[in-house]
Amino acid sequence: MNQHHWVNNFIEKTRDQWIATSDKIWENPETRFEEYVSAGILSEQLERKGFRVTKGIAGIETAFVGEFGEGKPVIAFLGEYDALSGMSQKGNVAYKEKNIEDGNGHGCGHNLLGTGALAGAVALKTYMEEHDLKGTVRFYGCPGEEGGSGKTFMAREGIFDDVDMALCWHPGPHTGVIASSFLSNIQAYFKFKGTSSHAAASPHLGRSALDAVELMNVGVNYLREHVIPEARIHYAITNTGGISPNVVQANAEVLYLIRAPQIDETKEIYERIKKIAEGAALMTETEVEVIFDKACSNYIPSKVLGKTMYESMLEVGLPEFSNSEQQYAKEIWNSLTANEKNNAGQLVAIANEKVNIPSGQYLAEEIHPKYESNAVVPGSSDVGDVSWIAPTVQCMMTTCALGTALHSWQMVAQGTSSIAHKGLLQVSKVLALTAIKALENKDIIESAKKELLETLNDTPYECPIPADVQPSKLK
């Protein structure tokens, strides 16, 4: 039996447990570094499958690693399982309705992501046992990808230092190897402290922290003209100082997320934004405290591993969707705005280019034919830090209707659909087959490692998160 048939048989034979695992995580959406139930579900599965599980790695309660085998090569599967706050949504429907008011939801499909990587890792372990292959397979439970950069904290502690290749994937509306680089980022809080006073009787005695936040935001908005075009600057006012307009606000806070293609470019913009914050504090006679929250490096896709993964995708193929699944996808499509429909062919996360989608098509019907690209995706992922340490490859697999945006209610709604389940099973085959090909042909891994060294050009990995910054939960 060839590699593809073996993998296909194994995943199909065990399909029910992967679907049940994914759905259970979907039903227990937990935000960054609080994924206690989800981490427990995945780590228990690993233990039952004969992996040696170590919990609480890198000083993070919800981070863990499951390991099987010994020696080289070390092949890592990266699993995520965190949800998004405020994204609660009923499943398997085509209309917006929350499960729980202000509840969390899997708006980025990480219930599928972690489970698909887990199934791939278990498949590789079983293949190694049956074919008496040497090496080490690891499943890394990686918490806090959404706004927490869990993998970056893990990388800082050396968790990935002996990995020879790493595999990951992401749910979405399209299928293909993620061939583009991602932006690096830095996230930081700016906390202003002023003096409260009666806003009518004694406004001259007050020093407004909210004024400082607003002036800082104005200053940063003027800065946008004077940074590189690829940069992105986002902010959210996380504390306005209260709801009483007749009180001069003594405390206010704004959270900034800064992105650029290279981490040194991001750091430069961050330093300029800190100066703007200091200027806002001077103008308002307030004080400002800068709290570094997290950061991540740009992603370096492995072209060598990308080619191997692309070949595996062609062998595995796309999921086959039923008429009822096509109908559900059509209903989701009809829930989209005209703008969302117009952007349905934008393969941002794969190769940052656009494809034409025929009228009446609601689910992807092709594998994107590129496994390398010079484009930069205007988003970020803490997988980037792993890619600086070991050759890393990712793909996207169709788990939802065309036009579905990540971090949307439509993404949450489809997270337990049979469309998502089929994509989950199909991508686990791709991950396992890619790993098996590399394990049985060591030249693939060696070529990928050589490629990474040449790309880095003697630039050592430097974690963008300072040593004294610790992972933090959502406020």
Coil vs helix vs strand at 229: coil
Instruction: Indicate whether 302 and 316 sit together in one domain.
Output: yes
The pLDDT of residue 1 is above 80: no
Residue 413 lies in a domain: yes
Q: Would you give the end-to-end CA distance of the chain in angstroms?
A: 52
Looking at residue 195, what is its pLDDT? 98
Dump pLDDT digits (tens) for 346-398. 887 888 888 889 999 999 999 999 899 988 989 999 999 999 999 999 999 99
At residue 99, the pLDDT reads: 93
Residue where a domain terminates, one of 296, 315, 337: 296
Separation CA 110–CA 115 (nearest Å): 8
* Same domain (yes/no): 322, 451: yes
- 248 lies in some domain: yes
Number of structural domains in the chain: 2
Residue-wise pLDDT tens digits, 136-150: 999 999 999 999 999
- 464 found inside a domain: no
Based on the domain organization, do 162 and 84 belong to the same domain?
Answer: yes
pLDDT at 474 over 90: no
pLDDT at residue 45, rounded to an integer: 97
Give the per-residue pLDDT at 347.
84
User: pLDDT digits over 172-182, tens only?
Assistant: 999 999 999 99
In a domain, 303, yes or no: yes
Token duo for residue 473: 């939960």
Other CB atoms within 10 A of residue 179 CB? 27
228 shares a domain with 216 = yes
Neighbours of 160 (CB within 10 A): 25
- At 29-55, the pLDDT tens digits run 999 999 999 999 999 999 999 999 999
* Pair 20, 77 in one domain: yes
Residues 265 and 308 in one domain: no
Residues 35-70 as b or e (16 or more Cβ within 10 Å = b): bebbbebbbebbeebebebeeebbebbbbbbbbbbe
- State how far the Cα of 158 lies from the Cα of 190, in Å rounded to an integer: 30
Q: What is the pLDDT of residue 346?
A: 85
What CATH number corresponds to the domain at position 264? 3.30.70.360
Query: Average pLDDT of 225-254?
Result: 97
Q: 8 and 154 share a domain? A: yes
Based on the fold, state whether residues 413 and 443 are members of the same structural domain. yes
In a domain? residue 467: no
In a domain, 335, yes or no: yes
My answer on whether 245 and 122 are in the same domain is: no
Let me know if residue 68 belongs to a domain: yes
Q: Could you tell me the CATH number of the domain that includes residue 40?
A: 3.40.630.10
Q: Select from 276, 296, 316 the last residue of a domain.
A: 296
Residues 274 and 188 in one domain: yes
Q: Give the C-alpha distances (Å, rounded to integers) separating 170 from 144, 236, 301, 459.
A: 15, 26, 14, 28
Residue 468 located in a structural domain? no
Residue with tokens 């863990």: 64
* Residues 283 and 142 grouped into a single domain: no
Containing domain of residue 354, as a range?
A: 3-181+298-456
